[in-house]
């Protein structure tokens, strides 16, 4: 009986030893039944150890010298829940390197040397709740990089060099409660980005290049937080200081929020530069309607030639310029026409149909201005058997104009245009 008891003890130790496979050199493996943690922090590692137990639930590889993540590094680790890769020198991540981590909840990649995130970096990570990417060197995130991260609750992209973000994917993160975008180079956030994020509690866009924030009902919850620091069940912490705010009518909605902050300042217009945002009265948040300062005079060209119609305008904020064809249709890019953001309309190959009065419309939230430019296209004579052909009848309207959404969304003249199908 005694020998049987000794045998069972030895067998139990052997089974336990088998369950915990060889622990990577210099690492510490802890069994907290039924989970296994592999701890490799501050071990001077140059790469992810190849002999990690695939049943590991928690993996810590922070404060090492790992330079890249390969596809095989975390293959078949389906039980991994928490992965820390912070404070390494990671500059590249192989496509689908985290694909097998179907149960991963937290991924810490902060303080590395990542410069870009591709569409296949985080593919399949539908259960990820926390993605920490701050203190990298990110300059670009591909548009589909976050498409699978629908369960995300925390996203930290602070202290990078981002000029843009995958806003459409962020819009779909309905569980998001913390979004850190501070200390980047963002100059634009699309309107409606935060409309569906009802669980969002903190948004930090401090120290970017934002001249304005998009109006959104969620900001109405951004009450008195800067001084009290108290978060109620429906509170929303908004931080937007350190941006070159343009204190005009586009930010009047923000000025009307009830806050006690006294940190944000206006960068423009000039007469408000340097003043504290919350001390500027609502009456001073003004916009200047558009004024067309230069435009093309009457233009003449031969059939087949290219023609450029130019239009310049000023206002506050800077006006958006659209062109309307002689038949009343809104111009957009097509095979024969190009509309540029600087207000230039290029007709690449002109026809007699293009003759008529084109209208330049400059618009901003304060109003719109318009100016017509006459275009005359002379028809080339057609030679048939050494005889000049007779004059053809009226060729009808041009085929270069199409309706664009931008024009239909604008106010005034643009909003009254009839919706026509593109040619």
| Segments making up each domain of the chain, as ranges | 289-378
Look at residue 232 in the predicted model and tell me its pLDDT.
Answer: 57
Residue 60: strand pairing partners: 39, 84
Q: Are 362 and 313 spatial neighbours (Cβ–Cβ below 8 Å)? A: yes
- Most distant CA pair in the chain: distance in Å? 123
Query: For residue 120, what are the contacts with CB-CB under 8 A and spacing of at least 6?
Result: 95, 96
Model pLDDT for residues 145-160, shown as the tens digit of each residue:
999 999 999 999 999 9
- CA dihedral for 118, 120, 124, 125, sign (positive or negative): negative
Token pair, residue 164, equals 């843009």
Look at residue 294 in the predicted model and tell me its pLDDT.
Answer: 92
Model pLDDT for residues 332-357, shown as the tens digit of each residue:
888 888 999 899 999 998 888 889 99
Token pair, residue 421, equals 């199908």
- Kindly state the helix (H) or strand (E) to which residue 384 belongs, with its residue range: strand 383-384
Look at residue 113 in the predicted model and tell me its pLDDT.
Answer: 97
CA distance 401 to 378: 20
Mapped onto helix, strand or coil, the DSSP state of residue 107 is strand
Q: Are 118 and 139 spatial neighbours (Cβ–Cβ below 8 Å)? A: no
Look at residue 398 in the predicted model and tell me its pLDDT.
Answer: 67
CA distance 210 to 203: 14
Look at residue 106 in the predicted model and tell me its pLDDT.
Answer: 97
Could you say which residues of the chain have pLDDT below 50? Answer: 1, 4-20, 224-228, 403-411, 414-423
Q: What pTM, to 2 d.p., does this model score?
A: 0.78
CA distance 102 to 80: 8
Look at residue 14 in the predicted model and tell me its pLDDT.
Answer: 39
The CATH code that applies to domain 289-378 is: 2.60.40.10
Look at residue 219 in the predicted model and tell me its pLDDT.
Answer: 81
User: Phi and psi (nearest 5°) for 278?
Assistant: -80, -5
Cis peptide before 317 (omega within 30 of 0): yes
């Amino acid at each position: 009986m005694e020998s049987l008891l000794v045998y069972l003890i030895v067998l139990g130790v052997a089974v336990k030893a088998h369950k915990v496979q060889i622990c990577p050199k210099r690492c510490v493996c802890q069994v907290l039944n039924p989970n296994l943690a592999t701890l490799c922090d501050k071990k001077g590692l140059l790469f992810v150890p190849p002999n990690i137990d695939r049943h590991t639930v928690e993996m810590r590889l922070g404060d090492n010298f790992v330079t890249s993540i390969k596809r095989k590094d975390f293959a078949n680790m389906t039980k991994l829940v928490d992965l820390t890769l912070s404070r390494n020198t990671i500059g590249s991540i192989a496509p689908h390197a985290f694909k097998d981590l179907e149960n991963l909840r937290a991924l810490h990649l902060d303080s590395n040397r990542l410069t870009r995130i591709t569409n296949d970096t985080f593919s399949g990570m539908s259960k990820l709740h926390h993605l920490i990417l701050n203190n990298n060197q990110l300059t670009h995130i591909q548009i589909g990089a976050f498409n699978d991260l629908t369960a995300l609750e925390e996203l930290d992209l602070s202290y990078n060099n981002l000029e843009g973000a995958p806003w459409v994917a962020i819009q779909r993160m309905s569980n998001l409660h913390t979004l850190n975008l501070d200390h980047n180079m963002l100059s634009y956030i699309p309107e409606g980005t935060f409309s569906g994020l009802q669980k969002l509690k903190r948004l930090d866009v401090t120290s970017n290049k934002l001249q304005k924030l998009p109006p959104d009902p969620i900001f109405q919850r951004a009450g008195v937080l800067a001084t009290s620091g108290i978060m109620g069940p429906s509170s929303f912490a908004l931080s937007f200081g350190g941006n070159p705010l343009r204190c005009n009518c586009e930010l009047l909605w923000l000025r009307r929020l009830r806050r006690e902050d006294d940190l944000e300042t206006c960068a423009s217009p000039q007469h408000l530069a340097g003043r504290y945002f919350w001390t500027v009265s609502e009456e001073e948040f003004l916009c200047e309607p558009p004024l067309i300062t230069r435009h093309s005079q009457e233009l003449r060209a031969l059939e087949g030639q290219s023609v450029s119609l130019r239009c310049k305008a000023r206002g506050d904020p800077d006006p958006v310029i659209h062109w309307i064809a002689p038949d009343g249709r809104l111009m957009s890019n097509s095979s024969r026409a190009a509309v540029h953001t600087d207000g230039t309309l290029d007709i690449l190959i002109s026809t007699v149909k293009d003759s008529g009065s084109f209208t330049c419309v400059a618009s901003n939230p304060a109003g719109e201005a318009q100016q017509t430019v006459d275009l005359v296209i002379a028809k080339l004579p057609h030679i048939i058997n050494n005889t000049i052909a007779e004059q053809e009848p009226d060729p009808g309207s041009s085929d270069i104009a199409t309706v664009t959404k931008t024009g239909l969304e604008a106010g005034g003249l643009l909003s009254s245009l009839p919706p026509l199908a593109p040619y």
